[in-house]
């Protein structure tokens, strides 16, 4: 199973990162061309199920619909399990920790792809990393801007 892991250290506050990371419907605001739509279809004590429309446009333009289950593994760890679509069975594990600069974010992706999409595996791995890093960077900018506005 292809995996991807990366770390980012960003100056944003850890509590704000976790809060924004659980606001799934706002993800499409950060990257509207790649994340066309995200809606919550179920919410309960165990977690949240979303339906996403993802747009791949590197070699071919393809829209993919999938459903994901999001839950808190611990106070500083979030898990996303892909329930439907070409990446069904994939797991995204995001951990947040305090760093001297701000927040260290560790993302681990265990990617499972259906046979039809195996040939696109290298591009899909890069796409997931680019999307997640883009979302985290835009969250960081939002946190920093919010902090500046509070100080003004």
Are the C-beta atoms of residues 93 and 73 closer than 8 Å to each other? yes
Q: State pLDDT tens for residues 13-52.
A: 999 999 999 999 999 998 888 889 999 999 999 999 999 9
Q: How far apart are CA 121 and CA 119, in angstroms?
A: 5
58: pLDDT confidence band, cut at 50, 70 and 90? low
Give yes or no for a contact between 105 and 10, defined as CB atoms under 8 angstroms apart.
yes
| pLDDT-derived band at 73, boundaries 50, 70, 90 | very high
Q: Are 56 and 127 in contact (CB under 8 A)?
A: yes
Whether pLDDT at 144 is above 60: yes
Q: Around Cβ 60, how many Cβ atoms within 10 Å?
A: 8
């Amino acid at each position: 199973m292809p995996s991807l892991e990366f770390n980012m250290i960003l100056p944003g506050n850890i509590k704000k990162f976790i809060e924004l990371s659980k606001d799934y419907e706002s993800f499409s605001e950060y990257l509207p061309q790649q994340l066309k739509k995200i809606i919550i279809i179920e919410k309960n004590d165990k977690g949240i199920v979303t339906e996403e429309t993802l747009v791949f446009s590197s070699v071919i333009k393809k829209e993919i619909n999938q459903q994901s289950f999001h839950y808190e593994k611990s106070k500083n760890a979030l898990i996303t399990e892909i329930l439907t679509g070409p990446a069904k069975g994939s797991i995204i594990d995001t951990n947040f920790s305090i760093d001297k600069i701000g927040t260290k974010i560790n993302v681990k992706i265990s990617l499972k792809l259906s046979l039809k999409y195996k040939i696109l595996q290298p591009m899909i791995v890069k796409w997931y990393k680019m999307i997640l890093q883009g979302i985290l960077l835009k969250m960081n900018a939002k946190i920093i801007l919010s902090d500046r506005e509070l100080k003004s």
